[in-house]
Chains A and B, each alone.
Chain A
Amino acid sequence: MDTIKLTIDQQELEVPAGTTIYHAAKKLGIDIPVLCYMELEDWNIENKPGGCRICVVEVEGRHNLAPSCSTECKDGMVVKTNTPRVMNARRTVMEFILSDHPKDCLTCPKSGSCDLQDMAVRLGVREIPNEDIAEISTYRLDTSPAIIRDIDKCIMCRRCETMCNDVQTVGALSAINRGFESVVTPAFEMNLEASPCTYCGQCVAVCPTAALTEKDYTAEVIRALSDPEKTVIVQTAPAVRAALGEEFGMEAGSLVTGKMVSALRKLGFDKVFDTDFAADLTIIEEGAEILDRLKRSANGDENVRLPILTSCCPGWVNFFEYHFPNLKDIPSSARSPQQMFGSVAKTYFAEKMNVKRENMVVVSVMPCLAKKYESQRDEFKVDNNPDVDYSISTRELAHLMKQANMNLNKLPDEDFDKPLGESTGAGVIFGTTGGVIEAATRTAYELYTGKSLNEKVTFEQLRGWEGIRKAEVDFDGFTLKIGIAHGLGNARKLLEEIEEGKSTYHAIEIMACPGGCIGGGGQPLHHGNASILKKRSEAIYREDAGKKIRKSHENPYIKELYEEYLGEPLGEKAHQLLHTKYFDRSTKRQFKI
């Protein structure tokens, strides 16, 4: 490969051709500030509009300053990253960006984790000279069940567009207008709710400001907790325990399961349960469905559609309901773990506790924003009472704890309550890409072959980080072909194969977010550092490895639930409480043609 020699701040170095000045400087440990630029290395995701010009540097022999994030190194280049001219220019650029930005930092939902605010601090902005000539735009607030758009705070970095259009291929967002008026919105400035948005939250996860934030339900949760009439129970998704620590300054990849449980108990939840229990339940139902379809197809039943697709990710469900409605009978009909938990809690458990449905409040803590929307779907309500009342994100839980004077670091480890808090390692790995299908494989293998996996429960071929993975598992002579996709753009490729009749898989796992739930839109912000996500994934697998029981069908409380209440997997009661159906939502388009 061609290499290039250059000098940055008096230090010489050699880099491969095509390297940008920004990346070359990084190699020397020089951290040039960037604002619009963002990269998620492991997935080749890059947002490089070269628009904000915060990253400018001086290049000898060039009359104007160069944006380092989008300028390639040339042989013999002499770069200076911190001359007075550069520092002045940066501050001027920043002052210009701030001139038409609202100034309500103190009460802004992003305050404290805002890249724009951090940059103003870093560059030492003390006044905003252009304020009088700039117009602060006054777009309306757009509130959906999951995401709030306050685009007066949009700084046109266009990171959200990269995520929504390039990575997720949803196409809900685009830059519109020019000058001070330019912002990013859905088509015709319609509400996000009317757009093709899946609520995956990937735009929220990368937005540097409060232009895109989650709909916050912490106030509602506090109100429920303080209502003596209500029995308030909580469930926590697998990916939360692998990320919550980051909000309290812990290293990425710290597992805080026990501390999280004691925090929730101290917050006043009557029972602290685990979505992992419901994940085990999902595996029983979904596993049974996979085997049923395989068997029927082997017997020549023409009505069976393969591959079967997982259905535990509501962002993904929204995606196929909108973009691939003709495939809506292929995914498993199993509800997501969040919703399985809700319906079991408000029936089986409420009866056990002798609590009336309307007096039970189910809160879920999720790495995900799509779950907020999911919990409000009509299919998951009984007499207008939702199975899950409030779905809050990992970030919201951290806010709640901070408001309640809790420091995660200082809390003791405690155990989940029984019965809905008992889970297996299979339930835990739902939180990372490949985990759901590995969990399903552990159970399906034993049911199909009648043999025990003993300790050999890990399937390395299903793990990994590539966006699309293919793997085969030997089921005692029968080869199960498995596909895995994370990120909706990757999912789209597998779906197109199915549409074209080219798909050879038996089962496919799909997760809307890159990395799976550990990279969900409700997780602590990664600020462009993708290595954080890998560490979370490793933590998830660590938790699995440490579990005594690692196969869903061996969870004693799941067995009890079927014996006492549900009957058979895929049976009538199971169907009513644990399964759902999908809708063609392409009709949600405003303008039918």
Chain B
Amino acid sequence: MTSVKVKLKQNDIDKIKEICAAHNYEPGELINVLHQTQEYFGYLPAEIQEVISWELNVSAAKVYGVVTFYSYFTMTPKGRYPVSVCTGTACYVRGAENVLEEIKKQLDLQVGETSDDGKYSLSCLRCVGACGLAPVVLVGDKTYGRVAPDDVKGIIDEYKDKD
């Protein structure tokens, strides 16, 4: 899994410790702790996993094992404009795969990656509940429906001049 190196600040560490404490430092709560921590920080770099490993007394290897097993967890921060492609059944059937390929090409990113300038990130989602609009692409909170590969460039252009 691609990752970034970060330096945690003391209040970040305190926040992680707080989450672990709220789960009674139970090793069995690992997944929930990871979940909540990612919700707060947006991603789970190795440094954060190390802290959780200490606090819950679970080996760092195990923590990393869980993070890489569930596609929900990510070790890279989301971009300022996170691009998500729904690959739920309806979207898949209506060609989400081709749309995804086009986005990969346009952004020069693989799924799970964030661009070096931190602007875009790319992920896949399960059904987002808008099957009528399939295939669906999200950029941040904005939803784009019935997206064809040819539309991709136009969508991305909307964000070109923003930072």
Q: Is A591 positioned at the interface, with any CB of B under 8 Å from its CB?
A: yes
B13, B47, B59, B64: the one within 8 Å of A176 (CB): B64
| A161-178 vs B, Cβ < 8 Å mask (1 yes, 0 no) | 000010000011111111
Residues in A with CB closer than 8 Å to B74 are none
A591/B46 in contact, CB under 8 A: yes
A517 to B68, CA, bound (A): 36
Of A104-112, A184-192, A372-380, A462-470, the one with at least 4 CB within 8 A of chain B: A184-192
A165/B50 in contact, CB under 8 A: no
A195 to B60, CA, bound (A): 9
Q: Is A589 positioned at the interface, with any CB of B under 8 Å from its CB?
A: yes
B1, B46, B54, B62: the one within 8 Å of A174 (CB): B62
Residues in B with CB closer than 8 Å to A133 are none
B58 — nearest CB in chain A belongs to which residue?
A: A171
B61/A185 in contact, CB under 8 A: yes
A561 to B128, CA, bound (A): 79
| B44-67 vs A, Cβ < 8 Å mask (1 yes, 0 no) | 001101110110000111111100
Q: Is B3 positioned at the interface, with any CB of A under 8 Å from its CB?
A: yes
Residues in A with CB closer than 8 Å to B50 are 589-591, 593
A593 to B49, CA, bound (A): 11
A296 to B49, CA, bound (A): 46
A278 to B133, CA, bound (A): 78
A171/B61 in contact, CB under 8 A: yes
A589 to B69, CA, bound (A): 23
Q: Per DSSP, are chain B's interface residues mostly helix, strand or loop, or mixed?
A: helix
Residues in B with CB closer than 8 Å to A172 are 59, 61
Residues in B with CB closer than 8 Å to A186 are 61
B3 — nearest CB in chain A belongs to which residue?
A: A188
A177 to B67, CA, bound (A): 8
Q: Per DSSP, are chain A's interface residues mostly helix, strand or loop, or mixed?
A: loop
A188/B59 in contact, CB under 8 A: no
A205 to B8, CA, bound (A): 39
Given contacts A176-B69, A593-B51, contact A171 B62 (CB under 8 A): yes
A174/B64 in contact, CB under 8 A: yes
A174 to B69, CA, bound (A): 11
Given contacts A188-B46, A593-B51, contact A165 B59 (CB under 8 A): yes
B51/A174 in contact, CB under 8 A: no
Q: Count contacts on B: residues with CB < 8 A to the other chain.
A: 20
A172 to B63, CA, bound (A): 11
A187/B59 in contact, CB under 8 A: yes
Determine how close the nearest CB of chain A comes to the CB of B111; give it in whole angstroms.
Answer: 13
A181 — nearest CB in chain B belongs to which residue?
A: B68
B59 — nearest CB in chain A belongs to which residue?
A: A171
A176 to B46, CA, bound (A): 14
Determine how close the nearest CB of chain B comes to the CB of A234; give it in whole angstroms.
Answer: 37
Residues in B with CB closer than 8 Å to A178 are 69
A188/B64 in contact, CB under 8 A: yes
| A571-593 vs B, Cβ < 8 Å mask (1 yes, 0 no) | 00000000000000000011101
A195, A589, A590, A593: the one within 8 Å of B61 (CB): A195
A590/B46 in contact, CB under 8 A: yes
A173 to B62, CA, bound (A): 7
Residues in A with CB closer than 8 Å to B61 are 165, 171-174, 185-187, 195
B6 — nearest CB in chain A belongs to which residue?
A: A591
Among B8, B13, B54, B62, chain A packs the most CB atoms within 10 A around the CB of B62
Residues in A with CB closer than 8 Å to B51 are 593
Q: Would you list which residues of chain A between 536 and 593 have a CB under 8 Å from chain B? A: 589-591, 593
Among B47, B61, B63, chain A packs the most CB atoms within 10 A around the CB of B61
Residues in B with CB closer than 8 Å to A196 are 59
B62/A165 in contact, CB under 8 A: yes
Q: Would you list which residues of chain B between 51 and 100 have a CB under 8 Å from chain A? A: 51, 53-54, 59-65, 68-69
Residues in B with CB closer than 8 Å to A188 are 3, 46, 49, 60, 64
The 7 listed contacts between A and B (C-beta, < 8 Å) are: A165-B59, A165-B61, A187-B64, A188-B49, A188-B60, A195-B61, A593-B54
